[in-house]
C-alpha cells in the first residue's frame, strides 16, 4: 500500500529531525569514522572514500525540488535497519578486540553507521522519501573497505584479466613473447604483472562514475546496466594496454623504461584514456533514448 502523503507543513520538520539524527549518529560513530577516513587517506585504493558523502550530498541537492513534500514514517523498516545496525556495531566491537585486519573491522563499523543512518531516514523522512533517495543511500556502500579476502580476490581476477588482455595486444603487435602465469618473457626483458598492476582503484572509480552518470543521465535500466557492465572490459583493456605499452617501450627503447614515469606514475594517464570510450558509450546510450 503506497505511503500517504502528509501535509507539506511537516516536510521541513522531517528534514530537520533527520539532520539532527544524522548528526547524532556521526557523533556516536565519531571514533570509527575518524579511523575510516584516516585509513582511506593513507591507502591509495580507498582514497575515494572521503568523497562519497559529498557525492551523496550533491545527488540529493540536485533533486531537492523533486523530493516528496513529506511521507509517513516507515517504522517497521526503520526498526529492521536499526537492529541490523546494532548487530553490525556489536560485531565491530568484538572484532576490534581481536587481531583481525583493520579493513575488516572498519567495514563492520561503517556498515553499522550506514544501516543506522538508513533507519533514521525511514523513521524521520518516511518511506516515500527514502524510496526516492534509495540510490544516493546505496551509493554510500562504497565507503565500506573490502575485507582482506575480498580485496585479494578482486585484485587476482583483475590481474589475470589484465595479463590476458596484454598478451592479446602483444600478439596483435607481432611482438615475440613467452608467457608463464603473470610473467612475460619479451626480447631482452622480463615483465611481471604484479597485484599492484591490477588497477583495482581505477576500476572502482570508473564503476562509481558509471553508476552516477547512468543515474543522472540515462533513463532506461537496460542502458544503465550496460554502462556499468562496460566497466569490466574497459578496465581489463586499460590495464592490459598499460602493460603492453611498458613492454613495447622496454623492447624498442630499452629495459630502463621499466623505471620510467610512465610505469610508476602513468596510472592517471591511462585512466583518462579509458574515459574516452566510456563517454562515447554514454553518449550513444543517451542518444538512443532520445
Question: How do residues 94-115 score in pLDDT, each as one tens digit?
Answer: 888 887 788 999 999 999 999 9
Q: What is the model's pLDDT at position 252?
A: 83
Tell me the pLDDT tens digit for each residue of 36-50: 999 999 888 899 999
Q: Which of 36-45, 177-186, 247-256, 270-279 bottoms out in mean pLDDT, i.e. has the lowest?
A: 247-256
Q: What is the model's pLDDT at position 1?
A: 40
Q: Quick check: 85 pLDDT over 80? A: yes
Sign of the CA dihedral with 229 first, then 232, 234, and 235 last = positive
Q: What is the model's pLDDT at position 4?
A: 46
Q: Quick check: 5 pLDDT over 80? A: no
Three-state SS for 252? helix
Q: Which of 8-17, 31-40, 244-253 bottoms out in mean pLDDT, i.e. has the lowest?
A: 8-17
Q: Which helix (H) or strand (E) holds 224?
A: helix 221-229
Q: Quick check: 179 pLDDT over 80? A: yes
* Spatial separation of the C-alpha atoms in residues 214 and 139, rounded to whole Å: 13
The three cell numbers of residue 148 are 582482506
Selected residue with higher pLDDT from 197 and 187: 187
Q: Quick check: 223 pLDDT over 70? A: yes
Q: Which of 70-74, 80-84, 102-106, 183-187 bottoms out in mean pLDDT, i.e. has the lowest?
A: 70-74
Query: Which range is most confident: 11-15, 96-100, 124-128, 279-283?
Result: 279-283
**Gap between the terminal Cα atoms of the chain:** 33
∠ CA(143), CA(144), CA(148), 5° rounding? 140
Tell me the pLDDT tens digit for each residue of 257-284: 777 777 767 778 888 888 999 999 999 9
Closest Cα to residue 235, out of 193, 266, 277? 277
Amino acid at each position: 500500500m503506497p505511503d500517504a502523503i502528509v501535509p507539506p507543513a511537516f516536510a521541513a520538520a522531517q528534514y530537520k529531525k533527520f539532520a539532527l539524527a544524522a548528526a547524532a549518529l556521526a557523533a556516536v560513530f565519531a571514533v570509527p569514522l575518524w579511523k575510516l577516513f584516516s585509513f582511506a587517506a593513507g591507502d591509495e585504493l580507498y582514497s575515494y572514500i572521503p568523497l562519497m558523502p559529498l557525492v551523496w550530498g550533491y545527488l540529493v541537492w540536485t533533486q531537492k525540488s523533486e523530493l516528496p513534500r513529506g511521507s509517513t514514517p516507515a517504522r517497521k523498516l526503520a526498526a529492521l535497519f536499526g537492529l541490523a545496525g546494532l548487530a553490525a556495531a556489536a560485531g565491530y566491537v568484538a572484532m576490534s578486540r581481536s587481531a583481525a585486519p583493520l579493513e575488516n573491522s572498519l567495514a563492520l563499523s561503517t556498515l553499522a553507521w550506514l544501516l543506522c543512518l538508513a533507519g533514521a531516514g525511514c523513521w524521520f523522512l518516511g518511506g516515500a522519501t527514502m524510496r526516492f533517495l534509495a540510490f544516493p543511500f546505496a551509493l554510500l556502500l562504497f565507503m565500506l573497505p573490502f575485507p582482506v579476502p575480498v580485496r585479494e580476490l578482486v585484485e587476482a581476477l583483475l590481474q589475470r584479466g589484465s595479463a590476458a588482455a596484454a598478451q592479446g595486444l602483444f600478439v596483435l603487435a607481432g611482438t615475440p613473447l613467452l608467457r608463464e602465469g603473470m610473467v612475460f618473457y619479451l626480447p631482452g626483458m622480463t615483465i611481471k604483472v604484479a597485484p599492484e598492476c591490477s588497477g583495482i582503484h581505477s576500476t572502482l572509480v570508473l564503476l562509481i562514475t558509471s553508476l552516477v552518470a547512468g543515474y543522472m543521465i540515462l533513463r532506461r535500466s537496460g542502458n544503465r546496466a550496460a554502462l556499468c557492465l562496460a566497466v569490466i572490459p574497459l578496465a581489463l583493456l586499460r590495464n592490459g594496454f598499460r602493460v603492453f605499452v611498458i613492454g613495447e617501450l622496454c623492447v624498442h627503447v630499452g629495459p630502463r623504461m621499466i623505471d620510467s614515469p610512465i610505469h610508476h606514475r602513468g596510472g592517471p594517464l591511462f585512466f583518462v584514456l579509458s574515459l574516452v570510450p566510456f563517454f562515447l558509450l554514454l553518449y550513444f546510450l543517451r542518444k538512443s533514448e532520445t
